[in-house]
Amino acid sequence: MAVLAPNIIVQRSAQQFILSALRKVGALRSGQNLTAAELADSLGVLNDMLDAWSASRVMIFSVSYTTLDQNGVALSLAAGKQKYALGNINGNEEFRLPRPPRLERVSVLYSASQSTPVEIGMDMYDDVKWQSIPNKSTPSLLPQVCYVENRADGTAYDLFFWPIPTQANPVVLYLWNALNQFPSLAAKFFFPPAYAKAIAFNLAVDLAVEFGTDLTKFPLVLKTAQQTMAAIEAINLPMKEVWCDLAILGTGGRRGNIFAGGPNRNLSG
């Protein structure tokens, strides 16, 4: 059965990364390909790069589109239930899967009378946004929000849905999985935003040593590789959104002065 999925992540294979990287440094033109031996060598360079990143604790993650638990049972919301556990420690979790490093997105599949279910993405809330919902017991046909709470012992996530669904519907979990190696040239993986660009540009720098480079392009490629590496390092360390309560800001909106400690940008006030 076909599914209408949101276009939020990027899909790439090792071969696509290799060809893209070589085009970036001018070692390959659009439409050109490599020999089998050159592709095999390049795959080795790509996997060596990922191995070096892993040793430096720079993890690369792929995203899996997950609709079944580890026993092949469809993941689904139950009518009238708000809280669901994601993990496989106790055996009684609603979403029985190995605890992922991160949960990127959650969607609900709603079919009504249609033959093709429609995938409806939810807003992912942190604890600050979740706290801002005054009535968490509001019911509705479909939830619009998912709040993910990491258990203190790190064994599982607790997922809270709002409004509380009044109908059972399948759900899709977009789970992060650590990618240590590409198993083949053809295998494709989904990547969170920014990761694919970081792989492509940093691979271009490594492959330039073996294939040569256009010296007019290489400085920009190197700079972009460094910037994208910094970006994924920042992504791997999640930061909370900071905002001020409207009650103390008057009509100025959620803006504060970090220098004066006041509710507005007036340094003198």
Q: Where are the domains of the chain?
A: 10-60+181-235, 65-176, 242-269
- What would the pLDDT profile of 45-69 be if each residue is shown by its tens digit? 999 999 999 888 888 999 999 999 9
The two tokens of residue 134 are: 């005054």
pLDDT above 70: residue 157: yes
Q: Is the peptide bond before 163 cis (omega within 30 degrees of 0)?
A: yes
- For residue 163, the model assigns a pLDDT of 97
pLDDT above 50: residue 246: yes
pLDDT above 60: residue 250: no
Nearest CA to 149 out of 137, 163, 160 is that of 160
CA distance 262 to 116: 53
Nearest CA to 144 out of 116, 168, 164 is that of 164
- What would the pLDDT profile of 174-221 be if each residue is shown by its tens digit? 999 889 999 999 999 988 888 999 999 999 999 999 998 888 999 999
Strand partners, 145: 123, 162
Please give the model's pTM, rounded to 2 decimal places: 0.70
- For residue 91, the model assigns a pLDDT of 85
Quickly count helices (H) and strands (E) in the chain: 5, 13
The two tokens of residue 120 are: 């409806």
CA distance 169 to 88: 22
Q: Say whether 136 sits in a helix, a strand or coil.
A: coil
The residue-averaged pLDDT of 150-169 equals 93
Q: Indicate the fold that domain 10-60+181-235 takes in CATH.
A: Hypothetical protein yqbg (1.10.3230)
Distances (CA, A) of 156 to 83, 97, 253: 13, 9, 37
Nearest CA to 77 out of 91, 67, 90, 87 is that of 67
pLDDT bucket at 240, cuts 50 / 70 / 90: low
